[in-house]
């Protein structure tokens, strides 16, 4: 199980690194994609045969956990807050939270419609 999480985590971390390197909004893309993928997993698990524990750990805890990053959003928001850019800091939280929630709901809905 630990090896599955490690393998998924390595892949997710590399994907996040590439997204952050290629686009200014890389963290937003990574977090939103992570929520969408987890929503898909939850939606599929709700109506299909339960996931194998190893596959679930590899994908959810490993890959999605390493892909998405709460700490990077927190750091950027704190930097803006400390620089007196309170509106930007609040905007970061609102955009990331809204996009994540919307993507998670979309993922669940898509899985339920497709299965």
For residue 6, report the phi and psi dihedrals to the nearest 5 degrees: -65, -45
68 is in an annotated binding site: yes
Please list the alpha-helical segments (H only) found in 1-115. 2-22, 26-47, 53-56, 65-67, 70-82, 86-114
Q: First CA to last CA across the chain, in angstroms?
A: 28
Residues making up the binding site: 65, 68
Residues making up the binding site for Na(+): 65, 68
């Amino acid at each position: 199980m630990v090896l599955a999480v490690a393998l998924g985590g390595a892949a997710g971390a590399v994907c996040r690194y590439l997204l952050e390197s290629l686009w200014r909004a890389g963290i937003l893309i990574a977090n939103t994609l992570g929520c969408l993928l987890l929503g898909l997993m939850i939606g599929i698990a709700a109506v299909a045969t339960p996931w194998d524990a190893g596959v679930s750990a590899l994908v959810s805890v490993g890959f999605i956990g390493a892909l998405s990053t709460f700490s990077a959003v927190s750091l950027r928001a704190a930097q803006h807050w400390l620089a007196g850019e309170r509106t930007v800091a609040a905007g970061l939280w609102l955009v990331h939270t809204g996009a994540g929630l919307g993507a998670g709901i979309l993922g669940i809905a898509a899985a339920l419609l497709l299965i």
